[in-house]
Amino acid sequence: MGNSALRAHVETAQKTGVFQLKDRGLTEFPSELQKLTSNLRTIDLSNNKIESLPPVVLGKFTLLKSLSLNNNKLTALPDELCNLKKLETLSLNNNQLRELPSTFGQLSALKTLSLSGNQLRALPPQLCSLRHLDVVDLSKNQIRSIPDIVGELQVIELNLNQNQIAQISVKISSCPRLKVLRLEENCLELSMLPQSILSDSQICLLAVEGNLFEIKKLRELEGYDKYMERFTATKKKFA
């Protein structure tokens, strides 16, 4: 990509607060963005070949609300990412991330987090510190179990489709705001699905197709009627 084209994008972003440069084969985070640390509210560098993020520069985007780096080659995130106190949306689908920074819980404004198609092997405990987090997508990772800490999650929707989950802590039923739980195409036996999800949780949409049991067997479990009451009430609400 030529310098003049990049300069034109930077000039536009200076006026709009939005920098979008997708599908350009970029191998690194554009250094030109250093000039815009106090302007930008949105950065979208999806569908490139970026392998790492510049720690010092990244931490200076104090007004940034949305950061999208889907379909890149990131293997790690710098701690400085967690300085973005206004960040509400973070999309990192289809990278090569194995874990999140230990400071990730400092992203206090974060509402939507997308980490589909990475190499996470466990539910990141840092997510439990994020009080405004509404939607988390952890589909297409390598997560094998859901630990007790899940009960502290504040999310409304949790997508765990296409992992390798065989065990789920009963504490998932204690999630105070969890309404939508997606567990399609995992390794769950029916006996490993906590019955309290049906009888004693806030969950009104439970997606479990493609596991190691027939869906009709779910209907035979105690508490299924209670779950269907919540499901039907929600459906009517949005109809």
pLDDT of residue 237: 76
Whether pLDDT at 2 is above 70 = no
Whether pLDDT at 1 is above 60 = no
Write the CB contacts of 214 (distance below 8 Å, at least 6 apart in sequence).
none
Burial (0-12, 13-18, 19+ Cβ within 10 Å), 13: buried
The CB-based long-range contact list for 62-69 (8 Å cut-off, 24+ gap) reads 62/37, 62/38, 62/86, 63/17, 63/38, 63/39, 64/40, 65/41, 65/89, 65/109, 66/41, 66/42, 66/90, 67/42, 67/43, 67/91, 68/43, 68/44, 69/45, 69/95
Q: In what order do the strands lie in the sheet with 42-44?
A: 18-20, 42-44, 66-68, 89-91, 112-114, 135-137, 157-159, 180-182, 205-207
pLDDT of residue 134: 98
pLDDT of residue 227: 97
Backbone angles phi, psi at 6, to 5 degrees: -65, -40
Burial (0-12, 13-18, 19+ Cβ within 10 Å), 232: exposed
Q: What one-character DSSP code corresponds to residue 195?
A: T
Residue 239 vs residue 60, higher pLDDT: 60
**Alpha carbons 68 and 35: distance in angstroms, whole number:** 19
pLDDT of residue 53: 97
- Pair of tokens at residue 208: 């479990």
Question: For 132-172, how does the pLDDT look when each residue is reduced to its tens digit (9 = 90+)?
Answer: 999 999 999 999 999 999 999 999 999 999 999 999 999 99
**Alpha carbons 3 and 209: distance in angstroms, whole number:** 49
Write the CB contacts of 94 (distance below 8 Å, at least 6 apart in sequence).
70, 71, 72, 116, 117, 118
Residue 5 vs residue 146, higher pLDDT: 146
Domains, in order of start, for the chain: 120-238 (3.80.10.10)
Contact 168, 143 (CB under 8 A): no
Q: Among the listed ranges 5-14, 26-35, 82-91, which one has the minimum average pLDDT value?
A: 5-14
Whether pLDDT at 49 is above 60 = yes
Whether pLDDT at 239 is above 70 = no
- Stretch 101-109: mean pLDDT, rounded? 97
> Taking the CB of residue 180, how many other CB atoms lie within 10 A of it?
16
Closest to 113 in 3D by CA, of 126, 102, 122, 121: 126
Question: For 166-224, how does the pLDDT look when each residue is reduced to its tens digit (9 = 90+)?
Answer: 999 999 999 999 999 999 999 999 999 999 999 999 999 999 999 999 999 999 999 99
- Stretch 21-44: mean pLDDT, rounded? 95
**What 3-state DSSP class applies to 113?**
strand
